[in-house]
Structure 1
Amino acid sequence: MHNIDKTAYIVFILFGFGLLNACRKDTIPATEETFHFSKGLYLLNEGNMSMNKASLDFYDFTTGTYERDVYKRANPSIVLGLGDVGNDIQLYGGKLYIAVNASNKIEVLDAFTARRIKAIDLINCRNITTANGKVYVSSYNASIAMGPNSPNGKVVEIDTLSLNISREVAVGRQPEGLAVSNNKLYVANSGGYNPDAYERTLSVIDLSSFKELKRIEVAINLHQVKVNRQGRVYVTSRGDYDNKHAGLFIIDPNTDHMVEELNKPVSNFWLDDNKMYAYAMEWDSNQQKNTILFHSFLLTDLNNDFPYIDSDVASRITIPYGIAVDANTKHIYLTDAKNYVSPGTLYEFNAAGKLLRSFETGDIPAHMAFLGN
């Protein structure tokens, strides 16, 4: 009996020593990497909800290398990494602003090193735009929860010097994309938490007073808002994922009236000079599959569209999820989220739509920002 007890004691000690060593290994901080980026493309991977898998990649145009997960590598002491669901990214004044919506925060990074400067608390933050030394972020103003009783959302203004929220204004339910034109902020109200009663308006905010001037009737379930060089406002609707198709609508900022509607579906798009590069992905309930289109338009002639990437590559993209065009080289960047739970792909095409190269990304590659353009 004594021998058995002694053996058990030795096993216990060895087991405890093993655990202690394991704990020691786990508590050793990872080495902080120092990046010196100057020109390239940041790619924000959304990651899967509730898994803290949002991540940030960087495609270095100077060296031609693709760096995975640079946020975690530059900030190893931040326990949960970038966080839960990276929803938008904007680069402004040497800083990178990232909305991490399920983690209820805006990460502010040094754009050249990817190191955190500050995290700003904002519940269910969604999309970001910038103007006149300020950063504007839409917020659902409530926790993630489907249902008819969700409150109105809001937009906050962040001062880029203090990195504090300086003003806020109420808008419609579940606001998404936003953009500035003619000293006004246009905000897409989606109402997406209540599909039985989608919102269908675009809030117009006066930037001087930071008050809502009006709401423009556009279409249900509005999503993205972008502005071209002439100040025209382009707004997408996601439809109802069934009978009402996704679409794109154009607002004149001088009159705040809708002046044109595109007769083809648009899920996501990028404006460059006088062109719009777009893709659409809609579920076809009759064929029980997604219908995917890649088309571009001259902004002066939205009735005629033309393809902008090789059809053989287009056919390989399963879930198009992000798009960007380099203003200098006119290279086109498209992402494929594949099955939403495994690493995606970033494709780079030249101006003629020929595939140059591709890279494996994090999960759900979605939002891009150019550094050094």
Structure 2
Amino acid sequence: MRNWIFILLVLSACRKSGTGSSSSEATHVTDDTHQTSFYLLNEGNMGLNQTSLDEFIGLKGDYRLNIYGETNPTIVKEMGDVGNDMKIYGNKLYAVINGSDRVEVMDKYTAKHLGEISVRSCRYISFYNGKAYITSFAAASGTTDGAGFVAEADTTTFQVTRTVTVGRQPEEMAIVGNKMYVANSGGYTVANYDRRLSVIDMSAFAVIKTISVAVNLHHVKADGYGNLYVTSRGDYTNIPSKLFIVSTATDAVTDSLDLGVSNLAIQGDSAYIISVQWSNTTGTNTVSYGIVNVKTKSVVSNKFIQNQTITTPYGIAVDPVTRDILVTDVKDYLLPGTLYCFDKTGAKKWSVTTGNIPSVITFIQ
């Protein structure tokens, strides 16, 4: 019996230490009060209910860790397991919690729990005409090939109203005009990755076509010129990661850039790119950065950070007001991460400790 008690105590201690912090006490990180306030979603390690929410208060220059638990003390498992995406729509904040099969819905200003949208194996979220749209890795009803789906949910009742079948293991999507473009990865079938964008007509909520792009698609970002920037993760062995440009006017691939891309953020005419590329051949990661001019569709820089100190870049966002560049460092994916803020010249302004696996930043505007 003593041995079991000891094991339980050790596991409890390990779990607590892995959350980064259980306190929402503010840390003053900058005197620049012109920066935009934001939330940061910490993904957390799978199976440990470590997802947490941090907040940066722009008017004070203060950073608060793990605010969800303090704001919502009656929610037993707090945010849940594996936070994958987060966006603001209207006066609500939506966090996609993949391992818990739910989208946590909160008040935009207070992070107070308002409800949840139940979607199996949910991945990314977007919005259109008062509805929320969530991609799911779960097999769509009536399919036998492992195709996933996009769920439509009411943003008032939080109930799923319709679903549409897309490709296998759909990831991020972008909505341009009356069409949604969904990146299908096929990530569960390594020998047979999916390579298509599913194009959904939003009025009919039906797939009207697919666009063949490249294997193992992930991110889809729209620029201001009617183009999509679509990332392919490659196969980690023979096919490298690459960035593709798709025209929403012709629904065809028009250009590609030989850049490894793990994540990207578009602000104005610039797409800021971070890349951590794993190789099955060498068993190592290669880290790189870049800036693409989306107007000219060309690479203008292979770096945007001075005095590189980041181990494993993961999340990226650009302040819409100051153009400061925010990059998260997940380090070894086990210990608390770090958020770095760089000015538009790439000089470091400040950094702060986050929760585990800091991933998605959403500005409060």
Shorter-chain TM-score above 0.5: yes
Q: 1:103 aligns with which of 100, 107, 110?
A: 100
| Cα distance in 1 between the residues matched to 2:192 and 2:263 | 23
Deviation at 1:48, TM superposition (A): 0.2
- Equivalent residue for 2:315? 322
Deviation at 1:286, TM superposition (A): 6.0
| Cα distance in 1 between the residues matched to 2:175 and 2:281 | 39
| Cα distance in 2 between the residues matched to 1:342 and 1:182 | 42
- Preserved CA contact (<8 Å) 2:226 2:249: no
- Equivalent residue for 1:18? none
**What letter is aligned with 1:56?**
L
Q: Output the TM-score relative to the length of structure 2.
A: 0.87
Q: Output the TM-score relative to the length of structure 1.
A: 0.85
Deviation at 1:310, TM superposition (A): 3.3
Deviation at 1:280, TM superposition (A): 1.1
Query: Higher mean Cα deviation, 285-294 or 53-62?
Result: 285-294
Higher relative contact order (CA 8 A, sep 6+): 2
- Preserved CA contact (<8 Å) 1:123 1:142: no
- Equivalent residue for 2:30? none
Structure 1 vs Structure 2 CA RMSD:
2.1
Deviation at 1:273, TM superposition (A): 0.7
Residues 230/300 of structure 1: CA separation in 2 closer, same or farther (3 Å cut) = closer
Q: 2:295 aligns with which of 297, 300, 312?
A: 300
Matches within 5 A, 1:98-137: 98-137=95-134
Residues 287/139 of structure 1: CA separation in 2 closer, same or farther (3 Å cut) = closer
- Equivalent residue for 1:13? none
| Cα distance in 1 between the residues matched to 2:95 and 2:335 | 22
Q: 1:258 aligns with which of 248, 253, 258?
A: 253
- Preserved CA contact (<8 Å) 2:290 2:299: no
* Cα deviations by residue, 1:253-278 (Å, 9 ceiling, x for unpaired): 11111111112221110111111100
Matches within 5 A, 1:1-16: none
| Cα distance in 1 between the residues matched to 2:152 and 2:225 | 24
Deviation at 1:308, TM superposition (A): 4.8
**What letter is aligned with 1:332?**
I
**What letter is aligned with 2:160?**
I
Query: Any gaps of 5 or more consecutive residues in structure 2?
Result: 1-22, 27-34
Q: 1:229 aligns with which of 213, 224, 228?
A: 224
- Equivalent residue for 1:88? 85
Alignment partner of 1:46 is 2:50:
no
Kindly, what percent of the aligned residue pairs are identical?
42
Q: 2:190 aligns with which of 185, 188, 195?
A: 195
| Cα distance in 2 between the residues matched to 1:371 and 1:123 | 28
* Cα deviations by residue, 1:301-346 (Å, 9 ceiling, x for unpaired): 344331453342x2x2111110000111101000000010110000
SS of the equivalent of 1:91 reads strand
Q: 1:167 aligns with which of 162, 166, 169?
A: 162
Matches within 5 A, 1:357-372: 357-372=350-365
- Equivalent residue for 1:5? none
Query: Any gaps of 5 or more consecutive residues in structure 1?
Result: 1-31, 144-148
Matches within 5 A, 1:149-168: 151-168=146-163
> How many pairs are equivalent?
332
Matches within 5 A, 1:25-64: 40-64=37-61
Q: 2:199 aligns with which of 204, 211, 218?
A: 204
- Preserved CA contact (<8 Å) 1:41 1:370: yes
Query: Higher mean Cα deviation, 102-111 or 279-288?
Result: 279-288
**What letter is aligned with 1:153?**
G
Q: Which has the larger radius of gyration?
A: 1
| Cα distance in 1 between the residues matched to 2:291 and 2:154 | 36
- Preserved CA contact (<8 Å) 1:181 1:232: no
